[in-house]
Amino acid sequence: MNGSRPILIRNVDVLTASEKFRADILVVGEKIHTIGVDIPTENCEIIDGSGLTAMPGGVDVHTHFDLPMFGTVSSDDHYTGHKAAAFGGTTTVIDFVPLDKPTLEESIAAWREKADPKAAIDFSFHMNISRWNETIAREIPRLVDWGIPSIKVFTAYNNRLRISDGEIFSAMRIAKEYGILTMLHAENGDVIETLVQEALSQGKTTPEWHAHTRPSWGAVEATLRGIALAAQSGAPLYIVHMNAGGEVDQLAYGREKGVPVMGETCPQYLFFTVEHLRRPDGAKWVCSPPMRTPEDNERLWQGLAQGILQTVGTDHCPFFYDGTRPILYEGKPIAIPGKELGKDDFTKIPNGLPGVGDRLPILWTYGVRTGKISENQFVALNCTNPAKIFGLYPQKGALLPGSDADIVLWDLNKKLTYGVAVAQHRTDYNLYEGWELVGYPVKVFLRGQLIVDGDQWLGKAGQGRFLKRTPGTVL
């Protein structure tokens, strides 16, 4: 299947953010040409879609591939992470560019150099604004020309990524003027610093202290601070990795007041709690912000179901649990230092989790099948809304004539036991080990090319394209 002949997917259930209906999908070249009934079949390669459901390829707007951290690097790069994403039904990712060169332009060029030859699905970038000066301020508007109309700012990670509230306010004003969306990592950096020093001085070094030193009130307060800055600057704001029920309450308040604020949560905050950090292998769950409580899980689900939150991203930033023991990846042994770096001190555990391939299958079984969100909400939250907010719609996130033929065929009756042996991440563990799934992607098309067929990988490094985005929509 090389895209030279039109592809006709016949008699498939088409699931979108607002509808479900039976139809044929005609793909010509890289695009969806027609969706209808009884489309003539001459010249077409026919795929029998009976019993299958077609959804748009997932859009994950929060990944960290090949990210240097704590003397190591996140273990999925722009190839292995893209491949894992594809197996889980995601065909577009947006990765964060660290500001680790003198200018934005040089930082982006360096990230493109790493990503372009490896990319296996389509991708774009957000720009971290983790330093503030006149040069950076002057450079922000140029992001629009480069097709990167989104920045991320931080109220945590003192002396590393955080800039001051005044600087965030200034960045947001510039962003607003040029149609750039500001994204916020909302925690209280000062409180975290104080609590971390206190915990270490008392010999409290186990993974659960990662959570205790990053209290949820800090996230709630910083979320409201961000919303207030959005209200005062008039700039739209997207709060990433929302993890605390109180943050959902703040977002609801801001939205009720008409402030242009939106929110994302991630699967880990829907399913896990601080209890997981207390396990002997608790380091597997160390990420920032941390896991909270069952009440927080519940309020986040409500936020998704009630439309207070607009998207689910993953914050995919995997590390090996034991980076001294190689795994086999595509037949070759590989080990990358990981969570063991912090076995005696939680502050040295690299922050982050695998997730880019897990998001859709896990949320289908444990979100849709459990009745927490509807089928249409599943598509809206994971595909359509992220594409709209980040300026990719209707090229991505949609099954419409003219859209890229990023089509995922799901077998909604397929049963499997999930875990590290199924997920394709380049790491040695999976958070959902042993979870029973019903419903899984069986064929994945990227711009009309079949890149995943059952458990077969047909994709390749370099086929993914950089997506120059335009300013998106506030939902």
Number of H helices, E strands in the chain: 15, 21
Positions in 37-66 near ligand URP (CB under 6 A): 64
400 to 439: interface string for ligand URP, x by CB under 6 A: ----------------------------------------
Count the site residues for ligand URP by CB under 6 A.
Answer: 8
Residue closest to ligand URP, measured at CB: 351
Answer whether 78's CB lies under 8 Å from 465's CB: no
Answer whether 8's CB lies under 8 Å from 41's CB: yes
Answer whether 71's CB lies under 8 Å from 33's CB: no
User: Does 340 participate in binding ligand URP (rule CB under 6 A)?
Assistant: no
User: Does 351 participate in binding ligand URP (rule CB under 6 A)?
Assistant: yes
User: Residue 31: what are its φ and ψ, rounded to 5°?
Assistant: -120, 155
Residue 312 interacts, among Zn ion, ligand URP, none and using kind-specific CB cut-offs from 5 to 8 Å, with none
| Whole-number Cα distances in Å, 221 to 188, 244, 315 | 8, 11, 21
User: Does 81 participate in binding ligand URP (rule CB under 6 A)?
Assistant: no
Residue 78 interacts, among Zn ion, ligand URP, none and using kind-specific CB cut-offs from 5 to 8 Å, with none
Residue 428 CA to residue 336 CA, distance in Å, equals: 10
CA 267 centroid distance within chain: 10
Positions in 177-206 near ligand URP (CB under 6 A): 185
Q: Which amino acid is at 401?
A: P
Positions in 314-333 near ligand URP (CB under 6 A): 315, 317
User: Residue 158: what are its φ and ψ, rounded to 5°?
Assistant: -55, 145
Nearer to ligand URP, 10 or 64 (CB): 64
Nearer to Zn ion, 185 or 469 (CB): 185
> Which pair of tokens denotes residue 197?
């020093």
Instruction: Look at residue 420 and give its three-state secondary structure.
Output: coil
User: Does 276 participate in binding ligand URP (rule CB under 6 A)?
Assistant: no
Nearer to ligand URP, 354 or 448 (CB): 354
Nearer to ligand URP, 271 or 410 (CB): 271
Nearer to ligand URP, 10 or 284 (CB): 284
First to last CA, the chain: 37
Nearer to Zn ion, 185 or 388 (CB): 185
Neighbours of 231 (CB within 10 A): 16
Neighbours of 28 (CB within 10 A): 17
Q: Is the bond preceding residue 267 a cis peptide, omega within 30 degrees?
A: no
Instruction: Please give the sequence-ordered ranges of beta strands (E in DSSP) within 134-180, or none if there are none.
Output: 150-154
Residues in the site for Zn ion, rule: CB under 5 A?
185, 315
User: Does 292 participate in binding ligand URP (rule CB under 6 A)?
Assistant: no
Nearer to Zn ion, 156 or 283 (CB): 156
Q: How far is the CB of 9 from ligand URP (least distance, A)?
A: 36
User: Does 284 participate in binding ligand URP (rule CB under 6 A)?
Assistant: no
Residue 118 interacts, among Zn ion, ligand URP, none and using kind-specific CB cut-offs from 5 to 8 Å, with none
Query: Interface residues with ligand URP (CB under 6 A)?
Result: 64, 185, 287-288, 315, 317, 351-352
